[in-house]
Chains A and B, each alone.
Chain A
Amino acid sequence: MRRLRPYSLPYLLWMGVFILIPTLILIVLGFSNLQLYNLGVFEITLVNFTIFIQDQVVSALWNSLVYSIITTVICFIIGYPVAYYLSTLSDKKRKILLAMMIVPLWSNMLLRIIAWEKLFMPTSIISDLFGISFDLLGTPTGVLIGMVAMYLPFMVFPIFSVLEKMDYKLIEAAKDLGASDLQTFVKVTFPLSSGGVISGVIMTMLPAMTSFVLPARIGLGKINLIGNIIESKFMKEVLGSSGASINQGALISLLLMVLSVISFVLITRVDKEGETLI
């Protein structure tokens, strides 16, 4: 197998180009007044950090934290039993059901969000046809339902893939030694699946935190997350601030990257090679 090692080298180069360089640029942008669209002389400065004391950024960070944590917790409470249940099914059934869970993700995300938006209006085609009406636009409940529906599969997949590969001899051994079902689950099954849980949490929480179309549309623009701030910094404000908005956006992106790195540390602690990420 050794002679196959060289096949990994191009990947290192490829990742170096697409990860290392942009990260360095983001760092320079975040800590200076360099203009992205007009590269030239720049000065190192900490002035971009002032965004972190602005009310709207603080409240967006707070909202992101609250909404992503609640979403993740709900996804976990629903997702774990689902993954467990799926792993107990026959090979054929679980394959079909997992595929059925992926396919809705092939529908355009924007259209799925618009669908929720339509459903949550007081009068809509759904109320015309089925007489069901939810008035949930602009409410935290509406946003949370939308987020859970969007990210739930990303909680189920990693947990499922750990449970599927789990060595059932261990569980049987625990039962032979007299452990009850509950004890077996708490002491054996759950710890063995913790890698999948951590991956699921990360795969749910980070995207939920940085989503921006969903909070803007279902939250009626009143529930702003950090994704909305980044989007605005890179796409809406660009000219208005002689380019500084990009530097601020870069700084927030760096903050998210730091979060990602922390997530890695968590993952690698439990699961050295991050195989449970999908």
Chain B
Amino acid sequence: MMKKTLKRKIPKLIGLLLTIFSFIIIFTPILVIIVLSVNASTKGYSWEGFTLKWYVELFQNDVMKEPIINTLVIAFSSTIIATVLGTIFAIGINALEKKKRVQMMVINNVPVVNPDIVTGISLMIVFSLLSFTLGYYTVLIAHVFFSIPYVVLSVMPRLKKLDPNLYEAGLDLGCSRISGIFRVIIPNISTGILSGALMAFTMSIDDFIITYFTSGAEYMNVSTWLYATLSRGRSFTPAAYAYNIIIFAVTIAIILFVNLKRDRKEKTV
């Protein structure tokens, strides 16, 4: 008996240890960035004492303001647009007959699997053919483009679990085609929509390559700005680390808050 439980416990223990190891390796760079963001030295070559001045500078530095605003505006707006469009497309694709559905999903996966650099160059080519001026809108289109497939991929499994008769029943009960979607379908696939949105946001906020190729003179995000500032002889201010940590802290806080709130709800119910 003893032996059997031990045997069962070993795989679980390995899983636990590897999970801890994964979190260590994934969080290591974040810890280094935290240290860099509170280090008094501009260059971060050595530890020169604790400071919060980079966090103060972050809000005073005009040079960084624009890339940060651009990054966040694009991340939020592309996430919203991609989530809306992706959900609609997924609903449409789900309604197709099997063969067509598979074909659509294969097309959907092209941007997911394609290397960023190929996607970036491809989009640049299309924009220059359509003679769009590169800038805010081309970056937005690009981000929406590479985010939609992730939304579709997250929404599809939930849609498939949905009973098709439910929607028809909704229509019978007097819903219009549109209100049927909002009243019957959307509430049932909301988890999928949410995780799709999360993925879209993840892809957008950290994008460098695709933005690099599709942004013109007037648009820079944090990544392209950092890359330019690293050129010949120059370097960026540690306020960039501070920005990163703030984003990180806020998101962690939101996740914990949402979970705590859900806990409380469950308890009261």
Contact = CB atoms under 8 A, between A and B. Distances in A.
Interface of A: 1-12, 14-15, 17-19, 21-23, 25-26, 36, 78-79, 81-82, 84-86, 88, 92, 95-97, 99-113, 115-116, 118-119, 123-126, 128-129, 145, 148-149, 152-153, 156, 165, 181, 202-203, 206-207, 209-210, 212-213, 227, 230-231, 234, 249-250, 253, 256-257, 260, 263-264, 267-268, 272-275, 277-278
B32 A274 contact: no
Given A8-B89, A8-B95, A274-B153, A108 B206 contact: yes
A110 B226 contact: yes
10 contacts: A4-B167, A7-B88, A86-B19, A106-B248, A110-B223, A110-B226, A115-B36, A119-B29, A273-B156, A278-B154
Contacts of B45: 123-125
B89 A11 contact: yes
Interface in B30-68: 30, 32-33, 35-36, 39, 41, 44-47
Interface core residue of B23, B109, B252 (most chain A CB under 10 Å)? B109
Contact of B118 (A1, A106, A118, A253): A253
Contact of B122 (A12, A26, A115): A26
Contact of B114 (A17, A96, A260): A260
Contacts of B47: 125, 128-129
A106 B202 CA distance: 6
B89 A272 contact: no
A109 B209 CA distance: 11
Nearest to A19: B110
B217 interface: no
B269 interface: no
Contact of B222 (A23, A108, A123): A108
Contacts of A116: 28-29, 32
A264 B114 CA distance: 10
Interface in B155-195: 156-157, 164, 167-168, 177, 181
B111 interface: yes
A116 B26 CA distance: 11
Contacts of B244: 107-108, 111
Interface in B65-122: 85, 88-89, 91-96, 101-102, 104-118, 121-122
Contacts of B106: 264, 268, 274
B77 to A, nearest CB: 17
Nearest to B15: A85
Interface core residue of B21, B92, B111, B115 (most chain A CB under 10 Å)? B115
B32 A115 contact: yes
A255 B120 CA distance: 16
